[in-house]
């Protein structure tokens, strides 16, 4: 987990929830932050904007901690930098280059 990515995520979460950054760690759960599903979706929109990524909707519900968010974001950034499509969920279709 990159410290830079983690710090950025924590800063965004802290700002969104109006909490001090030092109260949020990678182990902090969304439940501890009293985030409902609408809060989580809005937070994901902010993170997508910050990191210029798109988080698949089905993955949003799997993220339960700040650390899981950071790891997911890092994976999406890595895939984007490689020019790969995001295939975190099986959609049943395969696109091939050619």
Hey, which residues are catalytic here? 36
Report the candidate in 2, 80, 48 with the shortest Cα–Cα distance to residue 59: 48
Cα dihedral: 39, 41, 43, 44 (round 10)? 160
């Amino acid at each position: 987990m990159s410290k830079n990515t983690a710090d950025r995520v924590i800063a965004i979460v802290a700002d969104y929830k109006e909490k001090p950054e030092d109260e949020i760690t990678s182990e902090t759960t969304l439940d501890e932050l009293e985030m409902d599903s609408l809060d989580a979706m809005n937070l994901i929109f902010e993170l997508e904007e910050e990191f210029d990524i798109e988080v698949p909707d089905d993955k949003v519900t799997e993220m339960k901690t700040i650390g899981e968010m950071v790891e997911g974001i890092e994976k999406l950034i890595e895939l984007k930098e490689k020019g790969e499509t995001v295939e975190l969920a099986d959609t049943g279709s395969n696109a091939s280059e050619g």
